[in-house]
Amino acid sequence: MMNQPLAGKVALVTGGSRGIGAAIAQRLAQDGAAVALTYTRSPQKADELAQVITAAGGRAVAIQADSANVEAVRNAVAETVNTWGRLDILVNNAGIATLAPIDQFSLEDFDQLVAVNVRGVFVATQEAVRHMGEGGRVIMIGSINSDFTPLAGLSVYALTKGARRQFHPWSCP
Ligand SMILES: NC(=O)c1ccc[n+]([C@@H]2O[C@H](COP(=O)([O-])OP(=O)(O)OC[C@H]3O[C@@H](n4cnc5c(N)ncnc54)[C@H](OP(=O)(O)O)[C@@H]3O)[C@@H](O)[C@H]2O)c1
């Protein structure tokens, strides 16, 4: 138990099939949490990660849920609670980046970035906090780009990451 500070806790990591989200999911599981991880296009990677976690003695389930799809996000929260019985930690990790000069940035790309990087975070958080009790945690994976944008074309991505950074659900009862 000393090495598993999150024993008995349940975590949901959005975009947990690859990259940073996969590393977060693994660490949460290593620390004792049962983990649900979402993905969109990589069922194999998501299932493999869930198997790796399970083989290491942890508990994990992969759930297909596009963060741009409100119902899918709500269902992912519900499936997490149905599978593991509770929800203590939400990691808002899923995020996409589209780069283009502002005068060429399409509204479709703008709407998609906002849907995944901002609205998906709001919906997941809104749904998750309804299940969280004392000590619940909502973790936002932002980006340094919300403060500094070293590459041309990153301004809309930075905008969405700035919104995520400024979203403080814990300040709203
Ligand atoms: N990499 C960096 O240098 C960096 C730096 C600062 C911040 N970040 C932020 O950290 C987070 C993770 O970045 P990363 O580099 O690890 O990303 P990544 O390697 O591209 O992995 C993205 C993860 O999000 C999932 N995903 C993509 N679109 C999704 C959607 N619409 N709904 C649900 N899940 C979706 C992917 O699932 P599939 O496998 O199914 O596609 C994958 O699991 C992002 O929020 C990113 O903005 C990254």
pLDDT score of 70 more than 60 = yes
Instruction: Name the residue of 14, 27, 37, 40 whose CB sits within 8 Å of the most ligand 1 atoms, as the mutation to test its pocket.
Output: 40
- The pLDDT tens digits for 93-130 are 999 999 999 999 999 999 999 999 999 999 999 999 99
Residue 172 lies inside a defined structural domain of this protein: no
Residue 86 lies inside a defined structural domain of this protein: yes
Instruction: Name the one residue in this structure whose structure tokens are 């929800």.
Output: 87
Q: φ, ψ for residue 13 (rounded to 5)?
A: -115, 115
Residue 4 lies inside a defined structural domain of this protein: no
Residues near ligand 1 (Cβ within 6 A): 14-21, 38-42, 45, 66-68, 93-96, 116, 141, 143
Residue 92 vs residues 12, 57, 69, 118, 141: alpha-carbon distances, Å: 8, 25, 15, 10, 6
Residue 2 lies inside a defined structural domain of this protein: no
Which residues are designated catalytic?
157
Q: How far apart are CA 16 and CA 14, in angstroms?
A: 5
pTM above 0.85, yes or no: yes
- The pLDDT tens digits for 148-173 are 888 899 999 999 999 999 998 876 54
Closest atom of ligand 1 to CA, residue 45: 39
Amino acid letter, residue 38: T
Q: Give the distance from CA 124 to its chain's centroid.
A: 8
Residue 1 lies inside a defined structural domain of this protein: no
Q: Which range marks the domain in which residue 52 is found?
A: 10-167
Residue 78 lies inside a defined structural domain of this protein: yes
pLDDT score of 55 more than 60 = yes
Domain count, the chain: 1
Residue 3 lies inside a defined structural domain of this protein: no
CATH number at residue 97: 3.40.50.720
Distance from the alpha carbon of residue 168 to the mean position of ligand 1, in angstroms: 21
A 10 A CB-CB count for 84 gives 20
**HEC states along the chain?**
CCCCCCCCCEEEECCCCCHHHHHHHHHHHHCCCEEEEEECCCHHHHHHHHHHHHHCCCEEEEEECCCCCHHHHHHHHHHHHHHHCCCCEEEECCCCCCCCCHHHCCHHHHHHHHHHHHHHHHHHHHHHHCCCCCCCEEEECCCHHHCCCCCCCCHHHHHHHHHHHCCCHHHCC
Residue 37 lies inside a defined structural domain of this protein: yes
